[in-house]
Amino acid sequence: MTTPPKAKIYTRTGDKGSTRLVDGSCVEKFNPRVEAYGTVDELNSYLGLVRSHVVEFTEIKSLDVVLEKIQNELFNVGSLLATEKDEVFKMLHPITPEQIEFLEKQIDQLTTQLPELRNFILPAGHVLASHLHVARTMCRRSERRSAEIAVVDERYSLTLQYLNRLSDYLFVAARWVNHQMNMPEVLWKKT
């Protein structure tokens, strides 16, 4: 008995600068949807890197569970952004108000443990706080790229809100990591 051949990872559809969306539509690789879900994928991958280091520090290990949840939700965000056809869009896992509220609750919970922010801070401090700041900027870029789609398609309003709230969460999480690791925040100095 022979085993069936495994599916190949390469499809060759991208060799000429095009790709397929989740709904099967063929678009150029510079299409705004591809740019949007590509930046979400970059963010998701970077959060995986952050998580691989978070678990090394008991003081901040609790972030891992939240970041894993976010990574799963970002996969859903990417799928939604990679879909034009309404019938396919409706079959995908949506972003819900509850997911946005979860991020807000996480922000509030971490903020209660932090000193009041009275100045602008530089993205610095503990190496993991710096990584979270990089993730925050990637999230902001994902939000900007997704806004290009959301302004013409109201189905993405919650997706845009989610990314906006996620960038806020990553900012607060970076501050929280510095606090937990006893690293002072670096204040912006006007020059």
Tally helices (H) and strands (E) across the chain: 6, 2
Rg of the chain over CA atoms, in angstroms? 19
Per the DSSP assignment, residues forming a β-bridge with 19 are: 27
- pLDDT of 1 reads 59
| Ranges of the chain with pLDDT below 50 | none
The model's pLDDT over 41-80, given as tens digits with 9 standing for 90+, comes to 999 999 999 999 999 988 999 999 999 999 999 999 999 9
Average pLDDT score, the chain? 92
Kindly state the helix (H) or strand (E) to which residue 19 belongs, with its residue range.
strand 18-20
The first and second tokens of residue 121, run together, are 């801070």
> Which has the closest alpha carbon to 142: 49, 67, 37, 28?
37
Angle at 38 between CA 76 and CA 170, to 5 degrees: 70
**H or E, element range at 27:** strand 26-28
This prediction has a pTM of 0.91
Could you tell me the domains of the chain? 18-180 (1.20.1200.10)
How far apart are the C-alpha atoms of 169 and 179, rounded to whole Å?
15
> What pLDDT sits at residue 26?
83
